[in-house]
Amino acid sequence: MDATLTRLTPISARSAEKIEACHPCLNAQAHKTRARMHLPVAPACNIGCRFCTRTLGAADQRPGVAEKLVKPDEAVGYVARALELCPELAVVGVAGPGDALATSHALDALSRVSRAFPDLVICLSTNGLRVADRIDEIDDAGVGSLTVTVNAVDPTVLSEIVGWVATPGHKAEGEEAMHVLIDAQLRGIREARARGIVIKVNTVLVPGVNDQHVGQITRTVSAMGASRYNVMPLIPNGELAHVPAPDCRQVEAARAQAAGHIEVFRHCRQCRADALGIVGGEDLSRELYGDGANVATFSHG
């Protein structure tokens, strides 16, 4: 194992090389030794994924669940407590319950955290609709790693996965709306990369819809500047509850399509929106957030 990972040396914010070496969702070695926490601060979303169900419940172990929503001015206190519970903490991220950029909550919270804890990597996971037009705020908040969920780069394919897209003052459906989302995602990836932010793309793999499309997705996002790729098997829910989840063979086939175009991350555990701990290890979220009422939630990692 790389000795630099076991020493848990501080990470200076926004050094792409250091972030890639120390981020548990970007590096298979760091995955074993460094922890991440999610602040469930994003209350709303601006697109309608057909598989998304923001349901009640603290018990489910899947994206889409958190114990409670946290307010931006509570974020620093939660991170301080998380560092006590989990000294391996290296990354503080927002991955839900809604979209991190649909409201101001996530960037407000992360901005406070990056100023209070400059050695922690700041991570943001989003559907990508607002990355390009909020890039200055993202930069100012100290975001070092960004995940954009790109489920298709073809509007026809995407319209089977996403029902609607809302831009300020306008909510649209159909392929034209999907084109708006894809265009925003690709511009966002390009602009974030230009700011030195490390970019991972997630795809929710929907059998029979985008499982033959992964090569095209990864070719496209890699050309825009993404450096990591993660296949997230569909958890059948909502309008796509009737679609069976992909099996291991289908997930591996998707990863194989991606492999020639981008580095593939293989250790994702489809975290909750309030996860805390080493990925795959003990989840400490109940110790951190366990005092609140349940609310409708979702996340996309």
User: Which of residues 38 and 213 has its CB atom nearest to ligand CLF in the complex?
Assistant: 38
DSSP-derived 3-state class of residue 234: coil
At closest approach, how far in Å is the CB of 7 from ligand CLF?
21
CA–CA separation, 3 vs 69, rounded Å? 37
Contact (CB, 8 A) for 278 and 87: no
At closest approach, how far in Å is the CB of 159 from ligand SF4?
14
Find the helix or strand (DSSP H, E) in which 215 lies: helix 214-224
Find the helix or strand (DSSP H, E) in which 232 lies: strand 228-233
CA–CA separation, 170 vs 55, rounded Å? 26
User: Which of residues 111 and 127 has its CB atom nearest to ligand SF4 in the complex?
Assistant: 127
User: Which of residues 64 and 207 has its CB atom nearest to ligand SF4 in the complex?
Assistant: 64
User: Which of residues 147 and 159 has its CB atom nearest to ligand CLF in the complex?
Assistant: 147
The whole-angstrom distance between residue 211's C-alpha and the CA centroid of its chain comes to 20
Q: Which of 25, 89, 148, 198 binds ligand CLF (CB under 6 A)?
A: 25
Q: Could you give the dihedral angle defined by the CA atoms of residues 145, 97, 223 and 25, in that order, rounded to the nearest 10 degrees?
A: 50
Find the helix or strand (DSSP H, E) in which 17 lies: helix 16-22
At closest approach, how far in Å is the CB of 16 from ligand SF4?
26
Q: Does position 270 bind ligand CLF by CB under 6 A?
A: yes
Stretch that binds ligand CLF, among 77-85, 148-156, 172-180, 266-274 (CB under 6 A): 266-274
User: Which of residues 99 and 283 has its CB atom nearest to ligand SF4 in the complex?
Assistant: 99
At closest approach, how far in Å is the CB of 152 from ligand CLF?
19
Residues in the chain: 301
CA–CA separation, 117 vs 121, rounded Å? 9
User: Which of residues 63 and 114 has its CB atom nearest to ligand SF4 in the complex?
Assistant: 63
Q: Which 173-212 residues touch ligand CLF, going by CB under 6 A?
A: 200
At closest approach, how far in Å is the CB of 28 from ligand SF4?
26
At closest approach, how far in Å is the CB of 230 from ligand SF4?
14
Contact (CB, 8 A) for 231 and 203: yes
CA–CA separation, 239 vs 161, rounded Å? 9
Q: Which 83-112 residues touch ligand CLF, going by CB under 6 A?
A: 91, 93, 95
Q: How many residues bind ligand CLF (CB under 6 A)?
A: 17
